[in-house]
Structure 1
Amino acid sequence: MRRFALILALWPGFLAAEEFRTLTGDEILAALTGQKLDYGESVWQTFDETMLTQYYSGSPSSGRWAVREDRYCSLWPPSDLWACYDVQQSGDVIRFVDDAGGTTDGTFAE
């Protein structure tokens, strides 16, 4: 019985550590600027201070990024359309959430 009580006592803390928190615009800038995210399977993305972004998934792609109204936005030429996402964080994991609720998770690369 004591072991069960201990598990229950620790479980809420474990769940809280796994929760994602939505970031504000300033927090998005602080979290992403100068960083590299690893999306797994040799796919990664960098976020330069100059607001340029590099995405690699078998071949490189260059774009621009910005923060608008507490959302991460990106532009990938030759398109001239900006796509924006809510950004959430849980520890070293950044989650991008599109308007349809789809998610993409990246982990800060070392």
Structure 2
Amino acid sequence: MLLSSILAAATALATGAGAGVLPRNKHVADFRIYGATGCYEKNLGVWTVIDDDIKGNPCTRFGDDVRSVMVANVNDGCRLHVFTDGECRTGKHTVQQRECYGDSAGLKAWSMECA
């Protein structure tokens, strides 16, 4: 009985120790989106970007009616691009940290690249 308790405890300890080795995602940027130009009215929230979000440099569509964007923070060597179409082909603008960029026709998608 004592031997089985010791084995169970050792197994639980080994399993728990292995679970703590999971890698964490790297934070890349945060930007706030707005439903009106000027980065003030109709706050739609903060979009947090992690390294998995930008693998392969995907084009990501906004789910809301976005009219302006402000970059709160972005890692050195990374740049946020916003687009007026949903395929990241037209109306490209690179938004700098602390910059407010708006388009009255709306922003449909974003992508990010890091050097």
Question: TM-score, normalization: structure 2?
Answer: 0.26
Report the structure number with the largest CA radius of gyration: 2
Higher RCO (Cα < 8 Å, 6 or more apart): 2
